[in-house]
Amino acid sequence: MVKMTGAEMLLECMKKEKVSQIFGYPGGVVLPIFDALYKDPSLSVVLTRHEQGAVHAAEGYARTTGEVGVVLVTSGPGATNTVTGLADAHMDSIPLVVITGQVPTKMIGNDAFQEADIVGISRSCTKHNFLVRNIAELPRIVKEAFYIARSGRPGPVLVDIPKDVITDRGEFRYPETLTLRGYNPTVQGNRWQIRKAAQLMAKAKKPVLYVGGGVIASDSHGELAELVALSGIPVTLTLMGLGAFPGTHPLFMGMLGMHGTYAANMAVHHCDLLIAVGARFDDRVTGKIAEFSPHSKVIHIDIDPTSIRKNFHVDVPIVGDARLILSDLLEDLRKIRDEEGLTPLDSWHRQIEDWKEEHPLTYRKDPEVIKPQFVIEKAFDLTGGDCIVSTDVGQHQMWTAQFFKFLTPRTWLTSGGLGTMGYGFPAAIGAQRAFPKRRVLAVTGEGSFMMNIQEMATVASLEIPVKIIVLNNKYLGMVRQWQEFFYGGRYSSSFIGQSPDFVKLAEAFGVAGFRASKTDQVEEVLLKGLSTKGPVLMEFMVDPEENVFPMVPAGGSNVEMIFEAPPQPKAGKSGRREKDAVITA
């Protein structure tokens, strides 16, 4: 048996788990691990410039590859800086293993230098976490961490390793199997329930498939496509589900919910059967829950039993892996088709086409002022959709979700559940590391971008060719939109016109920068930016007061969509910006 240090053991464990990429930041107690990494060329480390960036990068890596993202940071502030990323991954079911250093076992609880109770702090924002208490249990815990992170409903797992465990020596034996008597996720769906679901689907006159990120996590987009081809059931996707079904398919209705399409929200409201697959009836999807899909029977397929009946009633719950369940469902549905036939959906399709025509996704074009939606449309046209796109959070995120047509799964990275500004750019870095040859776009706003702007140093130093699109409207746009609609146009703390010159800033970091200020410059800047080698920042000075439509006001029913700003008393508007400028100055 080989004796090795805890640090070396950790790296051996990672290799057994087929890890090749780590995102991290060194510090005191993890120095022995970074030293071991220095000697071991099989594991590559991306040094981000902030631990939060490392976690989001690992999320981007995990979401695009389907593998577990790995983060390595030090104790204390290194560990606490991962908390937002952990919470983000927890909400969006992203498999991560985050390794944090800890002060030596004997000093835990003594308020030692750079000590933080990260196991306590992260308990509610991880799927599970561990404190390794001696070197003997290190391999088992790492194995369990990877297994828990990627199985069932995926999520982040934190492993806290004290300094003395890192430096101790022990015999390395990686367990072949593991026994977690309290953890045994259901993967196979109940056959009887599936049959019931198939019968409902065969009989429904106005069915809708409401599909979320679970279909991407379980790689069941193929089964979904077959199911739609067989049944003709129209599809709406959640924000997390985009890419699970081609955005250009005639039976695709667009995203649903607060900024969903008119057709999708109308269809969900009027359907007689709602088939939720890997979605969790989030409040941004349902709007006023009492008026959500009021006429439908509900089938809910999810791997997490707690998702079922958490927010919404269900008639046929099916717990398990979406891929297995959808293929069973296909089998049953084919049988019904052959024996009894399926209900034709022609009039339902016509109804949906009418809704699509009644209120398509649209915006007012302008020959002078750049419309943000136009930038997204152009980016889609110029790339043919063949790229990975990440976003931050806010208006630009919704416009990208609406106007970029995602064609394949694992090409769309966004912070859905937690809504983390600062997610997108580092996530794009992770995606680009996973796919060095693919084109990766990070769409962001000047507000979100500032929250992890330090990662420009990361892309510059490692020549990670992420293409950053900053839609600069000089406001925290979504906040401003809500203030315009619901707070009498009082733009409190939402004006951020004093942002730095992003093009100059990019250049200072060593990133190429371009700017477009007029509509006719958009295509030129995009072409220039996309064809420039290495990391690029493209700043688009867009209409400051453009809004995201349609919109369901918070707490409203999904059929109460608005398509223009509600009438506002315009008094005081002229003095507003000046005042805001004073506040922000």
Q: Is 175 in the site for another protein (CB under 8 A)?
A: no
Beta strands in 145-234 (DSSP E): 156-162, 169-171, 207-211
Specify whether the CB–CB gap between 332 and 231 falls below 8 A: no
266 is a catalytic site residue = no
Stretch that binds another protein, among 233-241, 305-313, 483-491, 521-529 (CB under 8 A): 305-313
163 is a catalytic site residue = yes
Q: Which residue has the tokens 């706003």?
A: 445
240 is a catalytic site residue = no
Tell me how far, at minimum, the Cβ of 378 lies from another protein, in Å: 44
Nearer to another protein, 174 or 183 (CB): 183
Q: Which residue has the tokens 């990975």?
A: 388
Tell me how far, at minimum, the Cβ of 51 lies from another protein, in Å: 23
C-alpha 414/C-alpha 578 separation (Å) is 34
Q: Is 106 in the site for another protein (CB under 8 A)?
A: no
Nearer to another protein, 90 or 270 (CB): 90
Q: Is 182 in the site for another protein (CB under 8 A)?
A: yes
From 9, 14, 478, 538, the catalytic residue: 478
Six token digits for residue 250:
């005639």
Nearer to another protein, 281 or 404 (CB): 281
Nearer to another protein, 120 or 572 (CB): 120
Tell me how far, at minimum, the Cβ of 280 lies from another protein, in Å: 13
478 is a catalytic site residue = yes
Residues with Cβ < 8 Å from 184, sequence gap 6 or more? Answer: none
Residues with Cβ < 8 Å from 526, sequence gap 6 or more? Answer: 375, 378, 379, 382, 538
Q: Is 500 in the site for another protein (CB under 8 A)?
A: no
**Spatial CA neighbour of 267 closest among 322, 204, 224, 309:** 204
The mark string for 120-159 relative to another protein (x by CB under 8 A, - otherwise) is x--xx--xx--x----------------x-----------
Q: Please confirm whether the linkage preceding 550 is cis (ω < 30° from 0).
A: yes
Six token digits for residue 420:
């983390």
CB-count exposure of residue 573 (10 Å: 0-12, 13-18, 19+) = middle
Specify whether the CB–CB gap between 130 and 158 falls below 8 A: yes
C-alpha 346/C-alpha 254 separation (Å) is 19
Nearer to another protein, 310 or 518 (CB): 310
Size of the site for another protein (CB under 8 A): 19
C-alpha 226/C-alpha 174 separation (Å) is 41
Q: Is 180 in the site for another protein (CB under 8 A)?
A: yes
Nearer to another protein, 313 or 490 (CB): 313
From 15, 16, 107, 114, the catalytic residue: 114
16 is a catalytic site residue = no
The CA dihedral of 429, 434, 439, 445, to the nearest 10 degrees, is -30
Task: Return the amino acid letter for 80.
Answer: T
CB-count exposure of residue 436 (10 Å: 0-12, 13-18, 19+) = exposed
Q: Is 306 in the site for another protein (CB under 8 A)?
A: yes
Stretch that binds another protein, among 83-91, 304-312, 376-384, 400-408 (CB under 8 A): 304-312
Q: Is 183 in the site for another protein (CB under 8 A)?
A: yes
Near another protein by CB under 8 A: residue from 191, 295, 310, 350: 310
**What residue ranges bind another protein (CB under 8 A)?**
119-120, 123-124, 127-128, 131, 148, 180-183, 304-306, 308-310, 313
Catalytic residue ranges: 51, 113-114, 163, 478
